[in-house]
Amino acid sequence: MSRARDYRRISYWMDSVGEEIVPRPFLEGEVEADVAIVGAGYTGLWTAYYLKQADPAVRVVVLEREVAGFGASGRNGGWCSALFAVSDSRLAELFGNDTMRAMRRAMNETVDEVGRVVEAESIDCHFRKAGTVDAARSPAQLEALRAEVEQARRLGLPEEDLRFIGPEEMKELFATTKVLGGTFTPHCASVHPARLARGLASRVEAQGTTIFEQTEVRQILPRAGVFATIITKDGRVSARNVVLATEGFTAELPGLERTVVPIYSLMVASAPLGEERVQSLGTALAAGATFTDGRHLLVYGQVTPDGRLAFGGRGAPYHYGSKTRDEFGNDQRVHPLLEEAARQLFPQLGAITFTHRWGGPIGAHRDWFPSVLHDPASGLASAGGYVGDGVSTTNLAGRTLADLLLSKPSEITALPWVGHQSPSWEPEPLRWAGINAGLRATALADAIESRTNRPSGIAKVIGRLTGA
């Protein structure tokens, strides 16, 4: 029997998904599969999709504690971008320019691959590839964005990937206040994230994958002979391979408490703005571009096709012991600050109300480096640690996992995140103290730059720690 729960209250996206959210049956008893996937978010669903595309005979099951799209896949900012959590300069430093460019090319192509699939599969997720605009609203931000473009040129990345924009053009594209300039990249599409997740789940089922929802995984045992084993609240799965696709909820599984930490990102959505007000926000935003500015404590947004401002940001605290709870997504301190930040960016919002507040955990590895892992001996595989850049990166992860599980070496299985082993996070209370200190330091860096109009040394240190 399913638990009584209103899944529409998770986010604006789930509230506007366009279908009744009825949980699928839970797993009861024993089943056998070639691949069992834990988590019905983007990573798990893309992996199932590409496995069945490559080999329709492969037996795939997906186990989900709640419903498809419950986690970050149904709550994020809807940026299907080519952003990777580790910067191009850092990748070049670690692996060389050729490997960096291969990763950059793969990420750029992934945005188009998501667009190709949603069109081919008729997934109505409002995919609009209109790029991303990033505004400099202080001299320090302007200097940082100029340096980013100059770094891209030094690394051999062309202007069509990232270009600097002067203040007049920027004001036309992104009509925010205090604009001094900015950047534009075409490698991003805005999407309705919950429609993408829910539509992908339906397509995966049509391919022959079974999705069990409201199925809590209690334990995962590595391969003993032929099968690895998943023990759930009411059943058991025997599978040749198990894929862990739990991202921000990974720490809740036994033995994985220090592999991925959940960091909350929060969002708000406005009432419909009306066509005139939408146009007043800038031509790029009205066309579906995603937007941000140069501050360090990240904010992000888009204008939805129905004319709402969907706006989010970091700043919510990390919770002791890597806990995740529904109430953590409704922060009485951070949500009002987000609404205030949105009004500062766009005074033209006037008295428009914000109708939805929500949030959820994103996953971060200790070195801020995402990974795709597969151990043929144990039959265990995983992908995650996207640090909020997962809408498209999960697609690349799903394709990569499918190739690894089917023993098909490819260009993408040679990318530098494949096989990357991140160190464990510190035990508590060091983890709690360190992460929250980092969040406070990031906010302090923004305050210092606002006051001095100069780049903050604190930001440089934080950037180095987080892969920038």
Q: Are residues 16 and 78 in the same domain?
A: yes
Percentage of the chain lying above the pLDDT 70 cut: 95
Q: Are residues 372 and 390 in the same domain?
A: yes
In a domain, 410, yes or no: yes
At 447, is the pLDDT very low, low, confident or very high (cuts 50, 70, 90)?
A: low
Q: Are residues 84 and 213 in the same domain?
A: yes
Q: What is the pLDDT of residue 1?
A: 39
Average pLDDT of the segment spanning 119-126? 98
pLDDT at 2 over 50: no
Average pLDDT of the segment spanning 262-266? 96
Q: Are residues 33 and 142 in the same domain?
A: no
Average pLDDT of the segment spanning 122-146? 97
pLDDT at 453 over 80: no
Q: What is the pLDDT of residue 58?
A: 98
Q: Are residues 333 and 272 in the same domain?
A: yes
At 159, is the pLDDT very low, low, confident or very high (cuts 50, 70, 90)?
A: very high
Q: What is the pLDDT of residue 300?
A: 98
Q: Are residues 99 and 144 in the same domain?
A: no
Q: What is the pLDDT of residue 296?
A: 83
Mean pLDDT of the chain: 94
Q: What is the pLDDT of residue 5?
A: 86
In a domain, 437, yes or no: no
Q: Are residues 275 and 224 in the same domain?
A: no
pLDDT at 446 over 90: no
Could you say which DSSP state residue 74 is in? G
Q: Are residues 66 and 158 in the same domain?
A: no
In a domain, 327, yes or no: yes
In a domain, 449, yes or no: no
Instruction: Judge contact between 341 and 465, C-beta under 8 A.
Output: no
The tens digit of pLDDT for each residue in 192-220 reads: 999 999 999 999 999 999 999 999 999 99
Q: Are residues 245 and 116 in the same domain?
A: yes
pLDDT at 48 over 70: yes
Find the CATH number of the domain harbouring 100.
Answer: 3.50.50.60
Please give the helix or strand (H or E) that residue 396 lies within, else none. helix 390-405
In a domain, 297, yes or no: yes
In a domain, 462, yes or no: no
Q: Are residues 81 and 112 in the same domain?
A: yes
Domain that holds residue 325: 132-185+262-363
Q: Are residues 291 and 335 in the same domain?
A: yes
pLDDT at 390 over 80: yes
Instruction: Judge contact between 263 and 435, C-beta under 8 A.
Output: yes
Which phi and psi (to 5°) does residue 458 adopt? -60, -40
Average pLDDT of the segment spanning 419-438? 96
Please give the helix or strand (H or E) that residue 380 lies within, else none. strand 380-384
In a domain, 180, yes or no: yes
Transcribe 287-347 into DSSP letters. Answer: TT-EEEES-SS-EEEEE-TTS-EEEEE--PPPPGGG---GGGGS-TTHHHHHHHHHHHH-G
The tens digit of pLDDT for each residue in 298-355 reads: 899 999 999 999 999 988 999 999 999 999 999 999 999 999 999 999 999 999 999 9
Report CA-CA distances (Å) from 145 to 181, 292, 314, 427: 9, 12, 20, 36
The tens digit of pLDDT for each residue in 285-300 reads: 999 999 999 998 889 9
